[in-house]
Amino acid sequence: MGRSTSKFPSRFATGTSLSSSLPVATSTTTSWLLILISACKGAAARRITAVIPCYPYARMDKKDKSRAPITAKLVANMLAVAGCDHVTTMDLHASQIQGFFDFPVDNLYSEPLMIAYIKQKIPGWQNGIVVSPDAGGAKRCIVFRPIF
């Protein structure tokens, strides 16, 4: 992997948005994001918003056995310690993850875009059905009920 460096033009930046969507390992992108947040904080950014389309370790949001880590909470803590002020993410696995943060979290939903895409691009969509691979996904399929 190549070396990454960042330069910030002004110590008086009004705000910084960082996006984490690189096609490499989750731990690597999370580390890079934390390093960039820290660099922005060190460069006196007044506000740092992390745009994280796929929140890392979102499925690890509760204990499934004794002494198991809640890694989604750990990631939230690391973002806060690094200096993040706001997170924007998409389709969190569980809404409870928003409670792991002590600052604002915007959880955007992709269903409205998917519905518009289906209606526009798929001929005969009225005769389609939506299926889920598991019981948890069945709840999300209910959003599509009104259009089919």
Tens of pLDDT, residues 25-40: 678 888 999 999 999 9
CB 49 within 8 Å of CB 15: yes
pTM: 0.71
CB 148 within 8 Å of CB 130: yes
Which tokens sit at 123? 């001929």
Tens of pLDDT, residues 52-80: 888 887 777 777 788 877 888 888 999 99
CB 57 within 8 Å of CB 71: yes
The domain segmentation of the chain, as residue ranges, is 1-108, 110-148
Task: Give me the CATH topology for the region 1-108.
Answer: Rossmann fold (3.40.50)
- For CA atoms 127, 134, 71, 61, give the dihedral sign: positive
The pLDDT > 90 percentage for the chain reads: 24
